[in-house]
Amino acid sequence: MRVTDADVGDAARLAVLLREPAQWLRDGRLVALPTETVYGLGANALDETAVRSIFAAKQRPAFNPLIVHVADPSWLGRVVADVPPLARRLIDAFWPGPLTLVLPRRPEVPDVVTGGLDTVGVRMPAHPVALALLRAADVPVAAPSANPFTRISPTTAQHVLDGLGGRVFAVVDAGPCAVGIESTVVAVEADPRGGERVVLLREGGTTREQLQAVVGEVFVADHADEVGDAARRSPGRVERHYAPSVPLRSIARRADGALQVPNELERPFALLCRGDAGGVTDAAHVDVLPADPAGFARELYAALHRLDRAGVAVALVEQLPDDAAWAAVRDRLRRAGLR
């Protein structure tokens, strides 16, 4: 089902359009929905059978917890047992938006949603169609990215159909996603030094700098020994993920702007780069993405989906800047197998 900008601009019309998909969600069906980050594979989060069918459709291991989507912060009480003050500050600053909070769960949330953890990941998406659908369904919606397990996340409805067509009851198509990579995931937990602290579990659409501007220090689960069990607590951090089937190889750009194609290279090859093609003329497929981190993130997954279909032996990927603004994109490319 297609939702146009004109539909989005007319709240009454949008509500009518979304009445059926909302009912399907309530009935326990799988409905793929647009969000600002990526398309999600949605099911009623409080319906254990419906949530199980998400795992079956994606062929995703059951220990991997799902993110629950709410239409409004006032819905938190349906799934979360407690909202610590620090979490409240993050919600005030970043919702709706690409930030998932891991908070103590309520007993009504089925184990299959949380992977058996005593916490649940929750976010309020910044997408008018997602919000209208949630409101119309009036149930919290568990939704992982709508792709087969370990494959590239979908940023268009066509990506969803390509990966999961036949396994999803309906796809609500509202065009390409604006952020393009998944939400940032943080836990708010007791600080061993007293009070609470924010721990970054997954980089994403909200940067660490943005978080720090609101809450001060943000701990990173990766290299902080004191949060060493974070990998277990956030099992979605499996190394290989978001992966195209073609091998990715990193290449540098010289000071004069030329991209350095290795002498020994399988052919045909593809090139994925930033701003311009760096003088490379013999690639079988070229994807030039925007030079800024937000623009690059927005178009990255579509480019990886195209690489998958380009029929090349290898894809060369331009090395990205080291700075923090690029952290989430670097993370996704590393997990896509970039060496």
Q: What is the distance between the alpha carbons of residues 339 and 326, in angstroms, rounded to a whole number?
A: 17
Closest residue to bound ligand TXA by CB: 236
- Pick between residue 274 and residue 305 the one whose CB is nearest to Mg ion: 305
Give all strands of the β-sheet with 314-318 in edge-to-edge order. Answer: 248-251, 314-318, 269-274, 285-289
Which of 140, 278 has the CB closer to ligand TXA?
Answer: 140
Other C-beta atoms closer than 10 Å to the C-beta of 323 total 10
Q: Residue 138 contacts by C-beta under 8 Å, 6 or more apart in sequence?
A: 22, 26
**From Mg ion, ligand TXA, none, interface partner of 156 (C-beta below 5 to 8 A by class):** none
Q: Tell me if 37 sits within 8 A of 177, measured CB to CB.
A: yes
Question: What residues from 188 to 227 belong to the interface with Mg ion (CB under 5 A)?
Answer: none
Q: Which does 143 bind (CB under 5 to 8 A by kind): ligand TXA, Mg ion, none?
A: ligand TXA
State how far the Cα of 308 lies from the Cα of 152, in Å rounded to an integer. 10
- In the list ligand TXA, Mg ion, none, the entry touching 112 (Cβ below 5 to 8 angstroms by class) is none
- Cβ-based neighbours of 239, under 8 Å, separated by 6 or more: 335
Contact set with ligand TXA (CB under 6 A): 35, 37-38, 40, 64-67, 98, 100, 102, 114, 117, 119-121, 125, 143-145, 182-183, 185, 201-202, 233-234, 236-237
Selection from ligand TXA, Mg ion, none that 34 binds (CB < 5 to 8 A by kind) is none
Stretch that binds Mg ion, among 18-26, 56-64, 92-100, 138-146 (CB under 5 A): 138-146
Cβ-contact 15, 136 below 8 angstroms: yes
Q: In the set 37, 119, 145, 156, which binds Mg ion (CB under 5 A)?
A: 145
Size (the chain), residues: 339
Among candidates 26, 87, 44, 61, which has minimal Cα distance to 214?
A: 87
CA distance 190 to 25: 35
Q: What is the DSSP string of 69-82?
A: E-SSGGGGGGTBS-
Nearer to ligand TXA, 39 or 326 (CB): 39
Would you say 201 or 273 has its CB closer to Mg ion? 201
Are the C-beta atoms of residues 145 and 36 closer than 8 Å to each other? no
Minimum distance from CB of 144 to Mg ion (Å)? 5
| Smallest separation (angstroms) from ligand TXA to the CB of 339 | 23
Q: Which does 119 bind (CB under 5 to 8 A by kind): ligand TXA, Mg ion, none?
A: ligand TXA
Asked whether the beta carbons of 71 and 135 are under 8 A apart, the reply is yes
Q: Taking the complex as a whole, how short is the minimal distance between the CB of residue 322 and ligand TXA, in angstroms?
A: 24
Q: 201 contacts which partner out of ligand TXA, Mg ion, none, CB within 5 to 8 A by kind?
A: ligand TXA
C-alpha–C-alpha distance, residues 257 and 199, integer Å: 38
Nearer to ligand TXA by Cβ, of 7 and 182: the residue is 182
State which residue, 17 or 199, has the beta carbon closest to ligand TXA.
199
Q: How far, rounded to the nearest angstrom, does the alpha carbon of residue 4 sit from its chain's CA centroid?
A: 23
Using CB atoms, what's the residue nearest to Mg ion? 145
- 311: left (phi > 0), else alpha (psi -120 to 50), else beta? left
Q: Please say which residue, 145 or 156, places its beta carbon nearer to Mg ion.
A: 145
Number of residues binding to Mg ion, judged by CB under 5 A: 1
Report the distance separating Cα 299 and Cα 292, nearest Å.
11
CB of 15 to ligand TXA, least distance (A): 22
Binding-site ranges for Mg ion (CB under 5 A) = 145
